[in-house]
A and B are shown apart, each in its own frame.
Chain A
Amino acid sequence: MAAGTTRFCAGIVSTARHVSIELKMADYSNKLYQQLEQETGVQTGYMKTGSISLAQTQDRLISLKRIASSLNVMGIPCEIITPKQVAQLHPLINIHDLVGAMYVPEDALVSSANVSLALATAASRNGVQIHERTSVSHVLIQKGRVTGVETDRGKIQCQYFVNCAGQWAYELGHSGDEPVSIPLHACEHFYLLTHPLKEPLASSVPTIVDLDGRIYIRNWQGGILSGGFEKNPKPLFTEGRNQLEIQNLQEDWDHFEPLLSALLRRMPDLEALQIMQLVNCPESFTPDMRCIMGESPTVRGYFVLAGMNSAGISYGGGAGKYLAEWMVNGYPSENVWPLDLKRFGTLQSSRTFLRHRVMEVMPLMCDLKVPRWDFQTGRQLRTSPLYDRLDAQGARWMEKHGFERVKYFVPPGKDLLDLDQSKTFYKPDWFDIVGSEVKCCKEAVCVIDMSSFTKFEISSTGDQALESLQYLFSNDLDVPVGHVVHTGMLNEKGGYENDCSIARLSKRSFFMISPTDQQVHCWAWLKNRLPNDSNLTMEDVTWKYTALNLIGPRAVDVLSELSYAPITPEHFPSLFCKEMSVGYANGIRVMSITHTGEPGFMLYIPIEYALHVYNEVMNMGQKYGIRNAGYYALRSLRIEKFFAFWGQDLDAFTTPMECGREFQVKLDKGMQFVGQEALLEQKQNGVYKRFTMFILEDHDTDMDLWPWWGEPIFRNGRYVGKTTSSAYSYTLERHVCLGFVHHFDEKTGEELVVTTDFINQGEYEIDIAGQRFQAKAKLYPFSSLFTHRRRKDEVELSGYQRE
């Protein structure tokens, strides 16, 4: 037990994390470890030393300030300190190149092996059996459920199986009757141990994290322990290996040289310190730097907790807690979607992909985390048939669930900054480009390739499809054929498991459009809940259709010229779906939705027609000023229209009532549906959080830090929640943030009902990296403002056409 990489772990418990759920896990772990020794009697070596994260650059300091804001509102003590204060806290540190630092006094050090032992002891006392030196050779699965495991000492029957085999989780996942793909890959990780200093370092000296130097330094038995995340990681075990080899990994001093240089630069006095050992302990990394937990989408009862990205000791306690809740209650007590195994599919399971990706991920541990960062490796895996056409027109790409999506189009002759230089917390270099795309969406017509969206077709021979869907979705789907319905796919608590649009193609078949990253999750959710009826079929048709979004007031003109069919609002009202011909191509599914609140259409085109339809649209659209646009424009449009997006704003803990979408719930549709009770209760008792739109008032777009998401919201000076997304609204010429407002009791901190009055009668501020900006809260979008501007735009539009 704890003989793997756990034994070699550096033992730093740090709550300085970027992702909110990770931060909560680390906080829980810290509190758990603190009381563990008392509870179990096992010494854990817990030592509250605090940690200091250093900033060598202003950008790094901004990044730290953002974390500090998050920590503070969670009640974790934390302060931004000056280099001089750093010197007072640590005797050896060179502060000449520092601009500031973040001090988290409650961070701690533990002995990870002993923590494992303590946890095991406590578990044993509660009846848990631990079989050491027993290897699992095979996971037994029957009818999509775990039934037991085969070990070298015999068979064990079980209802639940948790694969927490660390870097071997991938291999173990493939050793079952049905493979479970757990995308992680190991990299070598080095840290240095030294003999004690002449004046041994006090055990209370804080841990130093020098991200710009890529190293961490903690005291270790009077000497130091220092490791880091190098720029050129060494992935290993790509082909899978025998676990025993982990003991014999070589020290590689040449590889460690940059980190050693960084260490000596940070603490020059260590030159004379004697080396004890260079430890090589492999760590596993995941494709997106976040750990993997949750139930397998294909095998029920098969749980996973692995891929800690070398923060296992920090996350261990919290991750264990959430997983246990998940297994016992069916769901964890927090939104763990960012960590859910189902965010990945089999497409992230290629060893080549993982090897390349982790080589990018590991250095990113120390790299500056700025908004809108895209991974550079493992790209161009899933692409639209139009990829080359769009790329040739200056498309810049981002990736979601392996699918390439356009961010924006760089006009010919215009150059953007290099990738590294474009990293900023301020106004990005594409600001004007996206601005002109938005303008075109508002005034003329734009085309956005949205092929990445997940598309399912559900049909049946009788009424099974309708009945099942009526039960699984909150809106009323018994609409006339040709109607499109926006609806949530809710869980028992009324929270959004998915937010989708469903078109009724015929009496017995439905076409469902969900966000890109729902491909695995939504499939598993529906599979597990649809009746096992051979007359009811569900098919993933994502790859069969290319989706083009025609956005803008002139979209109707383009489409009617291409189809010779009347598309006026009388013939083709909003939220309609028709199969029609576009150009020579027949059978194009046209829907009058745009996912932005702007007028326009979605075209679902069988992929072989994609190029033809795109060419026809672009040719015909020329006279209406058509141009390509990307997702950044779409995002700006949907956020200024107060459109919530699943995975960003909406999660399994958010109900339609909380985000002003009562109109998408038909409580009285005449039959039961999942989450109905919870919603009914909310309707009676009120909601405890409310999705709100904020318009930043005194924010200077050019000079001030931009909001991202996760910024604390203050109401009358008190913390009430966090933002979930933000964008610059080119129409309002202001930043718009979306987020949830809670109502915490001033004395007890208890959550109270949030009323419309509560929202409206407050003065709001948004905290961006420690700086607060005034914000105006709104519960409904600016419909009047837009119609007013529309009229004004029409004047401008005539000018636009003359250009």
Chain B
Amino acid sequence: MCVCPGPRRIAIPVRSSRLPLLSDAMPAPTHLFPLIRNCEISRICSTVCYCHHKHLCCFSSHFAHGHFRYAPQKRFAALYRPKENFNHFIHARDYASTPQRFYLTPPQVNSILKANEYSFKVPEFDGKNVSSVLGFDSNQLPANAPIEDRRSAATCLQTRGMLLGVFDGHAGCACAQAVSERLFYYIAVSLLPHETLLEIENAVESGRALLPILQWHKHPNDYFSKEASKLYFNSLRTYWQELIDLNSGETTDVKEALINAFKRLDNDISLEAQVGDPNSFLNYLVLRVAFSGATACVAHVDGVDLHVANTGDSRAMLGVQEEDGSWSAVNLSYDHNAQNEREVERVKTEHPKSEEKSLVKQDRLLGLLMPFRAFGDVKFKWSIELQKRVVESGPDQLNDNEYTKFIPPNYHTPPYLTAEPEVIHHKLRPQDKFLVLATDGLWETMHRQDVARIVGEYLTGVHHQQPIAVGGYKVTLGQMHGLLTERRARISSVFEDQNAATHLIRHAVGNNEFGTVDHERLSKMLSLPEELARMYRDDITIIVVQFNSHVIGACQNEEL
């Protein structure tokens, strides 16, 4: 899926004296060892890693020298697809005489994996949970420092339903942070009936206490920016004022509400950056939000109605338990990237035929951006003039940043990018047991079928792991023993986790070729130094929503 050594979202050309040398020296992975001695590998490898880390987080330092090379790493990229080459790397490091090599103990591994885990159980009334959602588990594992993924979960208080979303930022975390704070308010407001909007507006007008709109379910590490709250609130208020004026009198359609909310927020982000703010800190903030980007995958669950709105390449997947107890996966979103032919087609129809060749290069939008839809990323939305004007009038920090100044090549007919989501509606059935929302960090390493199985087996408990039956097959004691030992290893990893998302991350990072968690591998992956981690994995953010089959079954019967 990725074309760069690190599975990055934006391939920004890099000037580095060592890179050409390296790609020359290593024509193909098979020649790696014969050509370079062990110790050199370790040196070169670490150099490579260092470079890439640099250009991931600090675009400026390289751009300062102003030497652009477009797509220089084609061969290099072929060499280092993280999934395939992990073993080569570790292998190479094995030979290197690095004495400071260390392993994490299982408790250390657990403390890393569990640092960001969060669980929410829908409270019961009278010993009954009448919601179609039992609760959710979420977690994230950073690869970037700081992490660029965000997650949000909230219950709509003025309407029914629960909102859950994962946001994958690129070119910094500012945009993902802003979207994670603001999007649910936009959605909730879009869903509100006219009277409630009026009531809220009147309350604000007369300085009365506001009806709470959302109840957030946040991990202590999930923060909201205090400084921008006033600004964000004003934008939101403008939005609902417009909704009041527009009063169509019709009941709100969830699908429409989601699309409107997405588009409106992206628009607000763009506008705020163009208008600027007298407060220099805020001014810089809104610009960083607009110039960075974020994908969003948001689920709205209300009774048996599940809507998933997706923008970008995060993914929503439904875990379904078949009648025989096995698990299967149903996609509830389409990735917006070069692998999606419809998306490529869409982009192409939106621009003149002359641009057809330059629109998608190396599986990236304009050869640069992996997701084909995203919030922020005004570099792909604004006209060149607008970009230049804003950057020039902006604060010095912005002016010094090479990335913001850099205009994408073949940039003729903006906008090239949109935040409009694709919305999929699904009526929940009793066999739909859970929903997984996750950023592409998970999907790069695991197939959705495996995700469905691992989460399914985790949630139903070990006893519901599909039983083995010998039936009429010829099985020897030895074969059976091998099979059982392996199953037990799988089970024992379940017991370590109290959180389905943590459990999934453990598998995503630590799975060996047999599909079982290999502690040594897990330990190696988690002990990678910051600057190396991004080489092997992306930020991973996961929300696992568990459904209440009883309630869903009851709802279904009522409808029948």
B-contacting residues of A (Cβ < 8 Å)?
A: 192, 194, 250-254, 256-257, 260-261, 263-264, 270-275, 277-278
Contact = CB atoms under 8 A, between A and B. Distances in A.
Interface stretch (B286-294, B466-474, B515-523, B547-555): B466-474
Given A192-B477, A251-B467, A271-B481, 14 more contacts: A194-B477, A250-B467, A254-B487, A257-B481, A257-B488, A260-B477, A260-B481, A263-B477, A270-B477, A271-B476, A274-B476, A275-B470, A275-B475, A275-B480
Given A253-B468, A278-B470, A260 B476 contact: no
A192 B467 CA distance: 16
B480 A260 contact: yes
A270 B478 CA distance: 8
Contacts of A270: 477-478
B129 interface: no
15 contacts: A251-B468, A252-B467, A253-B467, A254-B487, A254-B491, A257-B484, A257-B488, A260-B477, A260-B481, A270-B478, A272-B476, A274-B475, A274-B476, A275-B477, A277-B470
Contacts of A194: 477
Contacts of A275: 470, 475-477, 480
Nearest to B465: A254
Given A251-B467, A254-B468, A272 B478 contact: yes
Contacts of A278: 470
Contacts of B483: 253
Interface of B: 462, 465, 467-470, 474-478, 480-481, 483-485, 487-488, 491
Contacts of A273: 476-477
B491 A261 contact: no
A454 to B, nearest CB: 42
Nearest to A260: B481
B324 to A, nearest CB: 13
Contacts, number: 60
A274 B474 contact: yes
A148 B154 CA distance: 67
A510 to B, nearest CB: 52
A166 B268 CA distance: 75
B361 to A, nearest CB: 51
In the A-B complex, the 9 residue pairs with the closest CB atoms: A271-B478, A257-B484, A253-B468, A275-B475, A273-B477, A270-B477, A272-B476, A275-B470, A260-B481
A277 to B, nearest CB: 7
Nearest to A270: B477
Given A257-B488, A260-B481, A260-B484, A251 B476 contact: no
Contacts of B478: 264, 270-272
A271 B485 CA distance: 14
Nearest to A263: B477
Contacts of B462: 254
Contacts of A263: 477
B481 A261 contact: yes
Contacts of B477: 192, 194, 260, 263-264, 270-275
Contacts of A264: 477-478, 481
A188 to B, nearest CB: 12
B508 to A, nearest CB: 24
B476 A253 contact: no
Nearest to B478: A271
Contacts of A274: 474-477
Nearest to B480: A275
A263 B474 CA distance: 19
B21 to A, nearest CB: 54
B547 to A, nearest CB: 26
B474 A253 contact: no
A272 B468 CA distance: 19
A253 B480 contact: yes
Contacts of A271: 476-478, 481
Nearest to B482: A271
A274 B469 CA distance: 14
A254 B476 contact: no
B140 to A, nearest CB: 32
Contacts of B485: 257, 261
A260 B487 CA distance: 14
Contacts of A260: 477, 480-481, 484
A556 B462 CA distance: 63
Contacts of B487: 254, 257
A254 B490 CA distance: 11
A101 B559 CA distance: 69
A274 B470 CA distance: 10
Contacts of A251: 467-470
A250 B480 CA distance: 17
Contacts of B475: 274-275
A254 B481 contact: no
Nearest to B487: A254
Nearest to A226: B477
A264 B483 CA distance: 14
